[in-house]
Amino acid sequence: MCNWDFNYPFLCHGRLGVNAENLVGASVQNFPSREQNDESRTAAEKSCTYKMDGPCRGHCLIFNNIEFGELLTQRKGSEKDAEELERVFTWLGLKVETYNDQTSTQIHERLKNWQSSENWKDSDCLVCCILSHGKSGEIYGTDAQLIPIRTIMSYFTASQCPLLARKPKLFFIQACQGEKTQKPVYLDVDVPGLLGADAQSAGVPPLQPSIPDEADFLLGMATVDGYLSFRHIREGTWYIQALCTELQQLVPRGEDILSILTEVNKHVSFRADPEGLKKQMPQPAFTLRKKLVFPVPREPPPSQQP
């Protein structure tokens, strides 16, 4: 969030000993025009928003694991998620690559190839979607080998992938993060508001601008740590379908990605299984330094296209 302070000089009379004689021959203060203020405000707003008008909007990598042989259960319905993600991010201007049924070794190889790709030079952002089984902080390859989510993201830190430094990197993980099931909590609707150590360092500033190695990341998790996430065998997962729906509805309104993910949280939190006993709560985490706003596409959203 950026704040702009406009300071104007004040002429004080009497109490501070300023009188008319002090003003004789004084120069007239030239205040900025409304147009100049608007221009400076627009420039300041742009400085608080990631640049998204480059030659290439970016690349979206989709890892869609469905078949695990006899090692893990089949993820029926995940193809619906992959198709919807491809449609939505293509609509948003990204080039989409989908990789189906990848082992842990193949996932590492794909990520390593993209890490060294020259495509990032002209790209505005990276989006990586992983649809698989998982457990706390990890996802499975189709060989039932676990990969830490932090390892996946580490391929694209500022030091490991310099061409993506200062650019937003979005990761959306559709995978269980445990075995527990979130239970519903029933609230009294007539009780409003029921829900509801700063460190400071001193010293000499660096001689040249720098950013933390893990800056500019966003991690969207389908569920909080320790819990299951849910998938319909024909309609796809609660989280990915909500993500695609809210992107289509809110990008045209100019909403930033964190506002959109808040709506995704709301969307998923309202859902429950047919018996009303199972709930799900997504969880975004981020090190973004600016607002991320996708430019509004010229075409209507995929859901409105024939």
Q: Which residues are catalytic?
A: 133, 176
Give the number of C-alpha atoms closer than 13 A to the C-alpha of residue 93, restricted to the C-beta side.
17
List the structure tokens of 252.
Answer: 């045209």
Cβ within 8 Å of residue 194, ≥6 positions away: 187, 188
List the structure tokens of 22.
Answer: 């002090």
Contact 110, 59 (CB under 8 A): no
Q: How many helices (H) and strands (E) does the chain have?
A: 7, 11
Give the number of C-alpha atoms closer than 13 A to the C-alpha of residue 154, restricted to the C-beta side.
6
Distance in Å from the first CA to the final CA of the chain: 39
Contact 115, 126 (CB under 8 A): no
CA distances, 139 to each of 70, 108, 113, 178 (Å): 17, 12, 20, 11
